[in-house]
C-alpha cells in the first residue's frame, strides 16, 4: 500500500526543518506537495544493493512511518515524514542493511506517535525495534535539568552504540539532516544544537572514520554558531581564490609532469581547506587570514603502499619540504583508521602547500569510513582497523561501569572522542595512540586497568621519570607496579584520558568507601549538634522517613555523599531534626555546640590536605567541603581559601589530633650566594635533621644570588622550625622562607 504525502521540493537538501522538537500538529501551515519523487529516488538507491524481500520490508516501514506521522509537520511546515526518509536516504548512501534502514524510517515513531517497542518488534523484528529504542530519547525526569536529561540521553545512546554501532550511524544521519535544515529553529536553540554537534556528534563521526560527514557537521555547526565569522571567512576565501589557485595550478602541472617521469601512475587532485579548519587555525595560532597559507592543497592517489613512498620522494625532489611537517599515517594510522602521507612543500613564490599521498583504498576509508562495512561480518573476519574501533566501542561499557553519574560519563567520553596525537611504544614494541598531554598513568590504564591501579613508577626511554611527565611521540614507556599500591587522588590533576579518570574515580569511590562513610558520620554528627540534637536521638524510624522523602537507597549512601561533598551535612541535619519525634529531649547545651573534627593526615581520599597551602601538624587549619572531593583541609591564612569562601555551611571546624605521625610535604624557598658547594651543604643540613628532599628546582636567571626551591617531607611545625634554623646557620644562605603555593 503506497502512501502519498505532502513533500518539500528536494528532500535530501530540504531548506528548513526543526531539530530535537516535537512535530507540529497543524495541517494548515504548508501546501500539499507530492513526496513520490524523493521516495522513488530512495527506492532506486536501496534497490541497487538490497534483496527484493529486504526492499519490501523497508517499503513497509516507510508506509508505517508515514501513517504514524500523518498530519504532523515540522517547524518549517514540511511534512514530518520527510525527515525520517531523509535519514534513511543518508544510510542508503552508506549501504547499510535493511534493519538499519527500517529503524531510520521508524526512529521517531516511539516518541511522536506513541508506538511501543513491543509493537515495532512484532511488526518489524526485534533488531529494528532495538535500534529504534537505542536512538529514542528517554522521558524527562521531573525536576531534572536540561543538561542532566541530555547527559542521560547521550549515555543511553552511546551504550546502545557500544552494543550495535548502527544506533550511532542512524543518530549521525538524523543529526546531519537536522543540521542541514536548522534555519527554521529559533536562534538560541540553533546555537545550542550547533555547539552540541561540534562537541559530540562531529567527534563521534571522526572517531568512526566518517570524514566527509565529520567535515560537513563542523561546517554547519560553525555557520550556525558563529554566523558573522562564517560570512566574513566565506568572503575572504572567495577573494583569495584567484591568486592562490593559480599557484596551486602551477604546482599540480609540475607534479603531473614529474610523477610519470619517475614511472609513477597517479591521480592528482587539488583541494580547498574547509572554513572551520581555517577558523580554528586562526584562533589557535593567533593568525590573520592572510597568514593562513595552506588554504589549498594537493592530493595524490597511487596504486599501492610502496608507490606512496616513491611518490613522496618524487615530490620532495621537485619542491623542498618544510622540516618537521612530514607525518607518516600509513605506518602509524590514526585511531579512526585514517592512513596517508602528509608533507608540506615550499612551492613557487615561497607558498607552502600541503600534499597528501595515499592509495585508492586509503582514500575510500578517509572519505567514507569503515562504519558501513564492519558490523555485519563475523568478528574474526574484521580488519585490524575494524577491531580497534570495536575495542573503542567496548571501552564505552567499561566507562559506564566506572561512572555512576551521567554527566561524569559524558565528560569521560568527550575526552576520548578526540583523536590521539601521541604515539608511544610498550616495552614489547606495541604502539599505543594517546591524546596529546597524556602521561604514564594514562598509558598504564590504556594497557590494563589493573596496571593503572597498581602503578607506582615509570621508565621513559629507559630513564626513571615522574608519573606526571607528558609523553612525546616515539617514547618507550615501561610501568612499574606493586601489589599493595593503589591510585593516588592527585593523579586526577594530570591524567587526560577518560578511561584513566573513570577508573581512578571508581576506585576512590569504592575502595575508599569506608573512609567516606566515617567522615560523613563525623560531619553529620557535628551538624546535628549545631542544631541542638544528639546523633543518638535520630532513630531508625526517622531515618526511614528521611530516605523515603529524599530518595537515597540507604543511610550509608547518605553518609557517603556527605563525606564526598555531594550532600551538605547541615541540610541533612536540619531535615532529620525536623522529622524526629518532637517529644524527644533536646539534650544538653554541651551537645548543642558543634564539635571539632580531628585530622590525623592519613585519612586518604575522604580527607585531603590542600595542595595550595600544604598544611602540616601545628598549623591553624580549617576544612571546606567540596563536591566530589570530600573534606579539603587548608591553613587559616591560605590565599586560595579566601577566594573560594562561599556559604558558611561549606566550612568545617577541624584540628590536628594530639599525636599525629607521618611525613607531610612543605615548600621552602632559600636564597643563597651563588658559590660552589652550597647546595651540598643545604642538603646535608636537611639530612642531619632527618628530613627527606622530595623535589628541588632553581631560578634560571642566576646572578650573585640564586633562589632554590625545595619540597621537603617533615613531621610537623616544630620539625620544620628545626630544619630552618639549621639551614639559616649556613654562611651562604641569605634568606629562607616557607612557600605555600
- Residues annotated as part of the active site: 111-112
Q: For the chain, first and last CA: distance in Å?
A: 75
Q: Which of 85, 92, 12, 11 is nearest to 45 (CA)?
A: 92
Q: Which of 142, 223, 164, 157 is nearest to 190 (CA)?
A: 223
DSSP H helices, 600-716, are: 639-644, 678-688
Residue 392 grid cell: 573503542
How many angstroms separate the CA atoms of 2 and 9, rounded? 19
Residue 639 grid cell: 590565599
The residue with cell 632554590 is 708
Q: Which of 462, 463, 429, 458 is nearest to 443 (CA)?
A: 458
Residue 282 contacts by C-beta under 8 Å, 6 or more apart in sequence?
A: 288, 289, 291, 292
Sign of CA dihedral 524, 528, 533, 538: negative
Between strands 733-739 and 692-698, the pairing is: unpaired
How many angstroms separate the CA atoms of 634 and 607, rounded? 11
Q: Which of 5, 6, 8 is nearest to 64 (CA)?
A: 5
CB of 95 closer than 8 Å to CB of 54 = no
Residue 87 grid cell: 535519514
C-alpha distances out from residue 592 to 197, 467, 523, 530, 581, Å: 54, 47, 14, 5, 17
How many angstroms separate the CA atoms of 626 and 617, rounded? 22
How many angstroms separate the CA atoms of 477 and 145, rounded? 43
CB of 511 closer than 8 Å to CB of 564 = no
How many angstroms separate the CA atoms of 655 and 29, rounded? 70
Residue 321 contacts by C-beta under 8 Å, 6 or more apart in sequence?
A: 315, 343, 344, 345, 346
Residue 723 grid cell: 630544619
CB of 609 closer than 8 Å to CB of 654 = no
CB of 292 closer than 8 Å to CB of 278 = yes
CB of 168 closer than 8 Å to CB of 208 = yes
Q: For residue 733, what is the enclosing H or E element?
A: strand 733-739
How many angstroms separate the CA atoms of 189 and 131, rounded? 27
Q: Which of 653, 668, 655 is nearest to 735 (CA)?
A: 668
- State residue 145 phi and psi, 5-degree precision: -70, 165
What is the four-CA torsion angle of 234, 236, 242, 246, rounded to 10 degrees?
Answer: -100
How many angstroms separate the CA atoms of 198 and 194, rounded? 6
79 secondary structure, DSSP code = B
CB of 616 closer than 8 Å to CB of 740 = no
How many angstroms separate the CA atoms of 497 and 418, rounded? 10
Transcribe 448-515 into DSSP letters: -HHHHHTEEEEEETTEEE-TTPPP-TT-BEEEEE-TT----GGGGGT--SHHHHHHHHHHHHHTTHHH
Amino acid at each position: 500500500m503506497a502512501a502519498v504525502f505532502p513533500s518539500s521540493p528536494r528532500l535530501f537538501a530540504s531548506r528548513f526543518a526543526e531539530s530535537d522538537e516535537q512535530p507540529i500538529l497543524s495541517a494548515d501551515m504548508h501546501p500539499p506537495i507530492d513526496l513520490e519523487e524523493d521516495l522513488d529516488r530512495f527506492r532506486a538507491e536501496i534497490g541497487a544493493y538490497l534483496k527484493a524481500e529486504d526492499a519490501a520490508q523497508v517499503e513497509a516501514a516507510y508506509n508505517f512511518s508515514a501513517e504514524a506521522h500523518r498530519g504532523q509537520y515540522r517547524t518549517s511546515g514540511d511534512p514530518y515524514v520527510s525527515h525520517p526518509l531523509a535519514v534513511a536516504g543518508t544510510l542508503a548512501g552508506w549501504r547499510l542493511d535493511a534493519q538499519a534502514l527500517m529503524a531510520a524510517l521508524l526512529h521517531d515513531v516511539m516518541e511522536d506517535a506513541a508506538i511501543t517497542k513491543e509493537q515495532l518488534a512484532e511488526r518489524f523484528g526485534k533488531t529494528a525495534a532495538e535500534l529504534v529504542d537505542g536512538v529514542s530519547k528517554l522521558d524527562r525526569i521531573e525536576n531534572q535539568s536540561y543538561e542532566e536529561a541530555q547527559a542521560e540521553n547521550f549515555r543511553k545512546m552511546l551504550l546502545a552504540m557500544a552494543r550495535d554501532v548502527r544506533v550511532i550511524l542512524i543518530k549521525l544521519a538524523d543529526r546531519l539532516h537536522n543540521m542541514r535544515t536548522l534555519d527554521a529553529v529559533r536562534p538560541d536553540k540553533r546555537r545550542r544544537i550547533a555547539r552540541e554537534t561540534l562537541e559530540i556528534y562531529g567527534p563521534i563521526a571522526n572517531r568512526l572514520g566518517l570524514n566527509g560527514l565529520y567535515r560537513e557537521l563542523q561546517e554547519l555547526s560553525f555557520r550556525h554558531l558563529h554566523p558573522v565569522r562564517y560570512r566574513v571567512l566565506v568572503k575572504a576565501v572567495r577573494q583569495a581564490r584567484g591568486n592562490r589557485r593559480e599557484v596551486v595550478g602551477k604546482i599540480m602541472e609540475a607534479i603531473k609532469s614529474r610523477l610519470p617521469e619517475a614511472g609513477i601512475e597517479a591521480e592528482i587532485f587539488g583541494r580547498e581547506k574547509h572554513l572551520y579548519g581555517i577558523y580554528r587555525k586562526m584562533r589557535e595560532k593567533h593568525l590573520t587570514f592572510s597568514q593562513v597559507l595552506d588554504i589549498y592543497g594537493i592530493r595524490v592517489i597511487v596504486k599501492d603502499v610502496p608507490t606512496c613512498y616513491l611518490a613522496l620522494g618524487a615530490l620532495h625532489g621537485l619542491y623542498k619540504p618544510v622540516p618537521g611537517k612530514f607525518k607518516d599515517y600509513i605506518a602509524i594510522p590514526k585511531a579512526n583508521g585514517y592512513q596517508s602521507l602528509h608533507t608540506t612543500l615550499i612551492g613557487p613564490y615561497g607558498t607552502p602547500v600541503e600534499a597528501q599521498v595515499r592509495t585508492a583504498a586509503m582514500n575510500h576509508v578517509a572519505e567514507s569510513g569503515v562504519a558501513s562495512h564492519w558490523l555485519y561480518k563475523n568478528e574474526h573476519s574484521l580488519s585490524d582497523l575494524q577491531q580497534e574501533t570495536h575495542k573503542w566501542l567496548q571501552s564505552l561499557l567499561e566507562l559506564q561501569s566506572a561512572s555512576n553519574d551521567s554527566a561524569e560519563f559524558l565528560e569521560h567520553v568527550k575526552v576520548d572522542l578526540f583523536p590521539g596525537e601521541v604515539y608511544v611504544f610498550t616495552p614489547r614494541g606495541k604502539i599505543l595512540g594517546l591524546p596529546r598531554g597524556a602521561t604514564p598513568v594514562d598509558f598504564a590504564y590504556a594497557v590494563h586497568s589493573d596496571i593503572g591501579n597498581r602503578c607506582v613508577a615509570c621508565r621513559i626511554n629507559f630513564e626513571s621519570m615522574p608519573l606526571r611527565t607528558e609523553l612525546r611521540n616515539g617514547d618507550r614507556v615501561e610501568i612499574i607496579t606493586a601489589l599493595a599500591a593503589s591510585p593516588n587522588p592527585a593523579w586526577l590533576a594530570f591524567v587526560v584520558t577518560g578511561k584513566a579518570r573513570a577508573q581512578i574515580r571508581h576506585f576512590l569511590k569504592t575502595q575508599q568507601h569506608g573512609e567516606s562513610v566515617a567522615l560523613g558520620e563525623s560531619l553529620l554528627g557535628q551538624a546535628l549538634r549545631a542544631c541542638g540534637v544528639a546523633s543518638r536521638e535520630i532513630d531508625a524510624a526517622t531515618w526511614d522517613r528521611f530516605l523515603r522523602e529524599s530518595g537515597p537507597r540507604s543511610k550509608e549512601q547518605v553518609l557517603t555523599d556527605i563525606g564526598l561533598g555531594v550532600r551538605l551535612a547541615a541540610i541533612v541535619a536540619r531535615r532529620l531534626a525536623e522529622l524526629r519525634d518532637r517529644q524527644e529531649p533536646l539534650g544538653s547545651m554541651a551537645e548543642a555546640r558543634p564539635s571539632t573534627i580531628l585530622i590525623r593526615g592519613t585519612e586518604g581520599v575522604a580527607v585531603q590536605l590542600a595542595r595550595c597551602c600544604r598544611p602540616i601538624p601545628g598549623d591553624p587549619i580549617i576544612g571546606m567541603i567540596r563536591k566530589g572531593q570530600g573534606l579539603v583541609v587548608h591553613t587559616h591564612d591560605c590565599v586560595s581559601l579566601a577566594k573560594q569562601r562561599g556559604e558558611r555551611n561549606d566550612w568545617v571546624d577541624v584540628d590536628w589530633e594530639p599525636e599525629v605521625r607521618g611525613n607531610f610535604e612543605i615548600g621552602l624557598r632559600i636564597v643563597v650566594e651563588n658559590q660552589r658547594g652550597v647546595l651540598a651543604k643545604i642538603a646535608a643540613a636537611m639530612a642531619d635533621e632527618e628530613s627527606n628532599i622530595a623535589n628541588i628546582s632553581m631560578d634560571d636567571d642566576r646572578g650573585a644570588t640564586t633562589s632554590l626551591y625545595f619540597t621537603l617531607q617533615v613531621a610537623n611545625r616544630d620539625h620544620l622550625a628545626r630544619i630552618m634554623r639549621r639551614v639559616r646557620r649556613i654562611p651562604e644562605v641569605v634568606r629562607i622562607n616557607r612557600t605555600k603555593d
